[in-house]
Structures are given as C-alpha cells and as structure tokens.
Structure 1
C-alpha cells in the first residue's frame, strides 16, 4: 500500500457488482486517469465467497479484502492474501458466540446463515419485531457486541469493535491513508457505518430504503445512478480535479 494516492473502498453485491455495463464503464474510467486507483473490497461475504464472486464476475484483485462484515482483513501479497493478525486478535476479545447462539435458539423467527467466519453470528430474520427483541435480549445479557440489521431480513452480531466502518478506519490509520483521495460506496444497512465515517461516500441509486435514514451530510453523495454507475457519478463529483 505504499504510494497510494486514490482509493475506492466498496461493498460488492448490488454496489460494485450488479450492472456489468456500468462496472465496465467505471473500470475503463479509472484506467484512463493519470493516477492509479487502489481497491478495498468491504463486503459481508466471507473471503472464499468473495473469491468465487471475483472469478464469476472477472473482478480485479483488491489490495485489501475486508470480509465478514468487517471482522476479517486480508492484505494482498502478490497472488496471495495474508490475514491481518492484529485485527483478528482484536475481534476475539470478549467475543461470546456460544452465548449469542443460546439466545438465538429462543426465537422461531431466526435462522442461522451458512457463513464460515468465526467472528460473526449471522441470521435470517422473519420480521422487524423478532430482530428488535433478539438485539434487546443480547444487550440485556450484557454480551459485548455490535448489532446490525439490514435489508429487513439479515441480522449480524459482531464483536464490539467489528463492522465495516471500524475495519476501514483501522486500514486508513495503519497505512496512513488519511490524506489520499478516497471514496466509500455501499447500498445497504450493513454499509451504514462505513458511509458515515466522514470519508467522501456514496449511497448508490439502487440502495435499500434503510439508507434514506442517514442524515444529509456534505461527505455523503446520493447517486441517481445505481451500482457501479453511482460510484462513477460520485467519483466525478468528489475527485474530478
């Protein structure tokens, strides 16, 4: 990550990926610039799922992969990706997945998601009321955690320091990227944290309604175009010079 001047930190599904024509347009635009745009994929997918999506969609390799809703970070080293052990250790502090599972078992409206990440507990949820009560019972039990409800059907329980925003802040600080030209992009509730860190950010035009609740802010651009087209629209808005 030495010499980085421009960086896109983006969610994948329904943000960077979802409109092949728009993604081709975005990548062609980046290629035409006199600078290099480094990539961070910041996704809810686990690492192996991210790699499968890359193969299926012929996506460029990111410089950094933040996966499992900000609970794992890997740095690209040639063709390989190396786990950031410092972040991994932080995620395991006070993490109590067994107790979370015990509480989840009380709810008929929760179904465990088939994810492999060890530092997240993720569920499909039947309705808003079940999601809210589940979060309340975890809090009442005194379990340190971060609760994320997105798309009206997904609940992620993460270590208290986890999440896409916290992970991105960690990367920016570790690699001293505070003064570069950065754009953050997302489409759903689990992107809220990274979109509201004060970095130039874009809510793509096809975003879930839950992102409409984010207050107006000069650092957050609400694109008219969807998917990668919205990213391009915001890049030209923030970084046209």
Structure 2
C-alpha cells in the first residue's frame, strides 16, 4: 500500500449522518465526497446497520459509496464495487466458533427473562448478532452481569455491546461472538488489505465505538458525541497511555463546526495533514 494512501474507517449514525440533535455544517458531506473520490483514499463504513440499512443511508443522505463496509456491529464485512456488495466469508469463518454452534434463537432462550431486555425486530438480527432494547442507562452493570453469567454458564464466548439511542430514549444491547466487534473487524480488514496503522483513521461518536476509540488506532471522536462517551473515551485513553491516539473534534476546521462529517474530516487532517489540501482543492 503506497505511503500516501489514506484509509478512513467511520461510523455512520451521528458520525457522518447528521441524525442527532446538533446542527450539521452545510459543506461537510460535500467535502467527505471529495475525499472519497480521491484515488489515494479508501473509505470504510463501520456501523451497526445491516446491508439494507447501509444502502438506505447512502441513498437517503447522499453519502459516498464505500470501498468496504463493516456492518451489524462488526459481524459482517463487505467488499463494495458500486452496487455489488460481496460478503467476506473468511471473516464469518473467523468469528463462528465463539457461539459453539448455537444460533441467535438458542441464545435468546438462554437470556429469556432477563429483566429490562426486549428482543429487537427480526430484521435487526443475523447469524452472529442477537440484539435487544433495554433501559436508558449508560452503565447497566447488573443487567450486563446477568447476561454474561448465563452465556458463560453455557459455554458461549460473547462480546456485549451497550449503547444509548438518544432519540428513542432506550438502551441497545448487541450480543456478538467474542471475536466479533468493530475493532477486530477493522484489524482483520487492515491485515487482509495491507492497510498500515499510520495511514488508517477511525471516527465514531457512541458507546459501541469506545473499544476502537481507545485502541491503538488513530481515532477521532466527533464534537457532537455525548459528554459521557467523551469523558469515558478520554479517561480510558489516558489510562492506557494512548491519549495521543484520540482526537476530540473542536470545530473551526475549514470554518466548520466539528459535528458529524465535519469532525471526522477535522480529525483526519489532524493525523494526516496532507489531506487538508485534498479538501481545499478547487474549493
């Protein structure tokens, strides 16, 4: 991979999609499209959405089509060529053993009766993702402890991802194979495609991005992220000695406010300053 190549891995909802309460800078998505059109760039969407909802987001918000898409909170990876989305079967084989041959319905039976949990709709489940609605609690430790206990007692190796849907005023729980998460999926894709640490940047906004935000990757937290996510990310990054790998967008970059795609691009230019010229060209 050429040294000047740039890989942007970014969450969608409330990260480049302006579907939160804060205002969007008018030129932000236009500049994101300009970045994605560069031959030196690779764009990767990293989302809780499934393929259908990813496609809807691209259409509804006029987003650039990515080169790769990590969907369903890290349980699926697609190679994208225009309208052709090809699942990477090697990723499915890598994460499958954690559930000991069980499917989502089997795990749902194990978790039946856990107070506060309600299964999400069928279309939000897949072979390696069991999703629930829960209470609007940023740290539901007792609930998560009970879920972990039941799964562990049955030999299931699971990764629990908890986040808050601010608009719906509820919590969201995704039960995934232990090896299936955004961080591992990005690392797998980087190894598979030869993307280097210094040319790759991740951007996110919510609790289900925390694992990547405080990893060894160069990470960006958009300005519109909830205060509790920012505080937790900064605390964990500092404790792990990786404060220099977390950039919190402040606004002011190219006259934009740092929310959503504006914050993503601000962070990208922080780590890889030559990308600023890409965004300013012919502006």
- 1:110 correspondence with 2:117: yes
Distance 1:116 1:99 in 2: 13
In the TM superposition, 1:86-165 aligns within 5 A as 86-95=90-99, 96=102, 97-114=104-121, 115-126=124-135, 127=137, 128=140, 129-151=142-164, 153-165=171-183
Q: Is the 8 A contact 2:111 2:147 kept in 1?
A: yes
Query: How far did residue 3 of structure 1 move?
Result: 9.2
- 1:183 correspondence with 2:192: no
Query: How far did residue 211 of structure 1 move?
Result: 4.2
- 1:192 correspondence with 2:205: no
Query: How far did residue 38 of structure 1 move?
Result: 1.5
| Match of residue 28 from structure 2 | 23
| Among candidates 74, 79, 83, match of residue 75 of structure 1 | 79
Query: How far did residue 221 of structure 1 move?
Result: 0.4
Q: Residues 32, 73 of structure 1: CA spacing in aligned structure 2 closer, same or farther, 3 A cutoff?
A: closer
Q: Is the 8 A contact 1:17 1:23 kept in 2?
A: no
| Match of residue 247 from structure 2 | 221
Q: Is the 8 A contact 1:22 1:228 kept in 2?
A: no
Distance 1:132 1:82 in 2: 36
Structure 2 alignment gaps of length 5 or more: 19-23, 165-169, 251-257, 275-283
Alignment partner of 1:153: what SS?
strand
| Match of residue 43 from structure 1 | 47
Distance 1:39 1:110 in 2: 35
Alignment partner of 1:142: what SS?
coil
Alignment partner of 1:205: what SS?
coil
Query: How far did residue 230 of structure 1 move?
Result: 1.0
- TM-score, L = length of structure 2: 0.77
| Match of residue 267 from structure 2 | 234
Comparing 108-117 and 16-25, the one that deviates more: 16-25
- TM-score, L = length of structure 1: 0.89
Query: How far did residue 39 of structure 1 move?
Result: 0.4
Number of aligned residue pairs: give it. 240
Query: How far did residue 20 of structure 1 move?
Result: 6.4
Q: Residues 141, 20 of structure 1: CA spacing in aligned structure 2 closer, same or farther, 3 A cutoff?
A: farther
Distance 2:120 2:270 in 1: 37
Q: Is the 8 A contact 1:70 1:162 kept in 2?
A: yes
Query: How far did residue 4 of structure 1 move?
Result: 7.9
CA RMSD of aligned residues (A): 2.4
Structure 1 alignment gaps of length 5 or more: none
Distance 2:192 2:33 in 1: 29
